[in-house]
Structure 1
Amino acid sequence: MKTQVKQHLTDLEIALRVHNLWEATPPSAEALANDEPFCVSTLSATQWLQWIFLPRMHALLEANAELPRNFAISPYLEEALKDLDYLQALNAPLVKLETLLKSE
């Protein structure tokens, strides 16, 4: 399962890069420290994926820690990116992760 999770995370990063959404400069420490869900008032959805979600998931994998279960990021993306042509490209790997990490 760890290999599949890594692949879906890689696919998400590739989608961000292909659509020129990957940023070279991180947001401010204050923006990253926002305690609202998805840092909604300080980060865009794609920034949250790049600077919060991907690093945390990679850190959990590297530490052989328990991965989150039963999470739902795709509904947020569907709303936040609803009018953008790259929604499906970003959402597809997330839906695969959500499905893979559902508790049985």
Structure 2
Amino acid sequence: MHTEIAEVLIDIEAQLRQLGLWDKIPPSSQALASTEPFCVDTLSLPQWLQFVFIPTIYRLLEAGEPLPERCGISPMAEEFFRDSEMGVEALLQSLESIDALLSQTG
């Protein structure tokens, strides 16, 4: 299960890069310290995936710590990209996969 989760994280990163949504410069520590779900008040969804979600899940996997039992990223992503013409179908599919995999760990 952990290997599958890591593979999907790699896919998410690759898709963000392919779409030009992978930032070279991290957001400020203040932006990263948001207490809102998905840091909606300080980060875009791609930034949250890159700088919060992906590193956090990798850290939990490497430490052998419990993973979140639910995350519900795909509905947020569907809303974020609703009017986008960027071709985000593969990214949305990967986010659905990570939601499903994490719900199986609980």
TM-score bracket relative to the smaller structure: over 0.9
2:71 aligns to what? 71
| Aligned amino acid, residue 80 of structure 2 | A
> Which residue matches 1:100?
101
In the TM superposition, structure 1's runs of 4+ consecutive aligned residues that sit over 2 Å from their partners are none
Give the match's secondary structure for 2:14.
helix
Structure 1: give runs of 5+ residues left out of the alignment. none
Measure how far apart 1:101 and its partner are.
Answer: 2.0
For residue 21 of structure 1, what is the aligned residue in structure 2? 21
Distance across 2 between alignment mates of 1:95 and 1:17: 18
Identity %: 44
TM-aligned CA deviation for residue 87 of structure 1:
3.0
User: In structure 2, what is the Cα distance between the partners aligned to 1:101 and 1:36?
Assistant: 21
By how many angstroms is 1:89 displaced?
2.5
Aligned residues: 104
Residue 33 (structure 1) aligned with residue 33 (structure 2): yes
TM-score, structure 1 as length reference: 0.93
Q: Could you give the per-residue CA deviations for residues 64-93 of structure 1, whole angstroms, max 9, x where no partner exists?
A: 111111221111111111111233222111
**What is the match of residue 90 of structure 2?**
89
